[in-house]
Amino acid sequence: MKKVLFFALLSLVCCQSYAQDFTHSTYLTGRSLKSAEKVKQIDYRQFQYIYLMAAPQWNQEDFTCPQEEITRKLVTEHQYIKDRNVEIIPLLIQQAHENGTKVLLSFAGEGFNEKVSSIDRQNKFIHMMMQFIDKYNYDGIEIDWEKQLQLPLHADFLSNIRLKLDSLEKKRNDDRHLYLTTALHSWQIYDKELADKLVANVDWINIMTYDMGGGIWGNIPKHNTPLDKIKKELAHLEVFDRDKLCIGLANYGFIYKNLTPDTKIEGKLNEYGEYFSYNDMLPLLQEGWTEEYDNKANVSYYFSPDKSAFVTMENPATILTKIQWIMEEKYKGVFWWEFNYDAIQPASQTGKIRHHLIDVVSHYLDGMTEK
């Protein structure tokens, strides 16, 4: 009996420790931040990390220029938009730090091949990154290289960034770790040698387990975030330790008109569908749209009253299913694309932004750590 109690207590302690180490993070687009008031209304305590998409706007030809000119244009002369003479992004970083949240600058978009395949341009690019995050007191860098991703070049690029981040850490001399993370599609295939090289230089990897249906680029409309497909594709990534992988959650989906699920069309789905946020969908439920849960995919479709249109979208129950499964499988954490899609604006200036779906995970994690 004593042994049973001992192992039960040990299991409880281990689960509680894992829940405390589990990371809950979000992507946040800089263009959505137009007021200091909104920055102050974010509940930073929900997230250990924010991946802020607010890198300086550059042209490809910028990195053919001398380093001094790049620095002047993209760093020294750079200013974020202001509200009442206060730069909004530095205010967000300050507010996040006051609440124990780290802010990583996300470098995303197209053109990575052009900037990285030439070692001269890559060095200039990385040098600019270091100067920029140092200027604004960021906690690190996130690389979101999605299109035309060359895996070996990507790994080399991150290795070189890590070296420069290490140098910047020493220069700052304040014992702060500068983080480096990257986002990968769930269908990427790595061999062990390349996987080991990647994880040696990043703190963790964000696996984009969304956009798994037809989206607006494919020709078959399907679930955006089917758990059965997520499980299948994550099995290909077992070459990585799970404590190096964060799993993506989506508070957006797609709406399609004059189509039914799993029906192949000629052409692309952008003729029939578009991106759709969780907040966009809520009014439809007041207009008679109905949910049909898919037991295999563990997510739902929502159909218009006449069945002429449908939405693929998560809901609080399906998000709860996902977070429970992710924690059972002992992954490092979860992250959201994107902060704004399910936001509930506060009733007063001093209130905090709440979320229809993000809060499901926050409350679940709070409950786990309290057990």
Assigned domain for 298 exists: no
> Are 312 and 222 contacting, i.e. CB atoms less than 8 angstroms apart?
yes
What's the mean per-residue pLDDT of the chain?
A: 94
Q: What is the CATH number of the domain that holds 56?
A: 3.20.20.80
Contact assessment for residue 217 and residue 274, using Cβ atoms and an 8 Å cutoff: no
pTM of the shown model: 0.94
Q: Write down the pLDDT at residue 60.
A: 74
Q: Is residue 80 part of a domain?
A: yes
Q: Which of 12-21, 54-63, 81-90, 307-316 has the lowest mean pLDDT?
A: 12-21
- What is the DSSP-derived secondary structure letter of residue 76? I
Q: What angle do CA 244, 250, 253 make, to 5 degrees?
A: 145
Can you give the length of the chain in residues?
A: 371
Neighbours of 118 (CB within 10 A): 14
The total number of structural domains in the chain stands at 1
- Tokens for 180, please give them: 């480096």
pLDDT tens, residue by residue, 113-170: 888 999 999 999 999 999 999 999 999 999 999 989 999 999 999 999 999 999 999 9
Nearest alpha carbon to residue 149 among 192, 110, 181 = 110
With respect to residue 304, please indicate whether it lies within any of the assigned structural domains: no
- Look at residue 353 and tell me if it is in a domain: yes
Residues 110, 116 contacting (CB under 8 angstroms): no
Q: Residue 30 carries which side chain, given as an amino acid letter?
A: G
Q: What is the mean pLDDT of residues 44-48?
A: 98
Domain that holds residue 140: 20-250+315-370
164, 103, 93, 175: which is closest to 129 by C-alpha? 164
The whole-number average pLDDT for the span 267-296 is 97
142 belongs to a structural domain: yes
Report yes or no on 237 lying in a domain. Answer: yes
C-alpha–C-alpha distance, residues 52 and 137, integer Å: 13
What is the residue type of 103?
V
Return the pLDDT at 12. Answer: 47
Residue 222 covered by a domain:
yes
Asked whether 162 and 201 are in contact (CB, 8 A), the reply is yes
Tokens (6 digits) for 191: 């061999």
Q: What would the mean pLDDT of 224-241 be, rounded to a whole number?
A: 97
Give the model confidence (pLDDT) of 51-103 as tens digits. 999 999 888 778 889 999 999 999 999 999 999 999 999 999 999 999 999 99
Tokens coding 337:
């694309």
Residues 191 and 239 sit within 8 Å (Cβ to Cβ): yes
Residue 14 lies in a domain: no
CA angle at 185 for the pair 156 and 21, rounded to the nearest 5°: 85
Query: Strands 86-87, 102-109: parallel, antiparallel or unpaired by DSSP?
Result: unpaired
Q: What percent of the chain has pLDDT over 70?
A: 95
The one-character DSSP state at 277 is E
When pLDDT is averaged across residues 273-277 and rounded to a whole number, the result is: 98
Beta bridge partners of 286: none
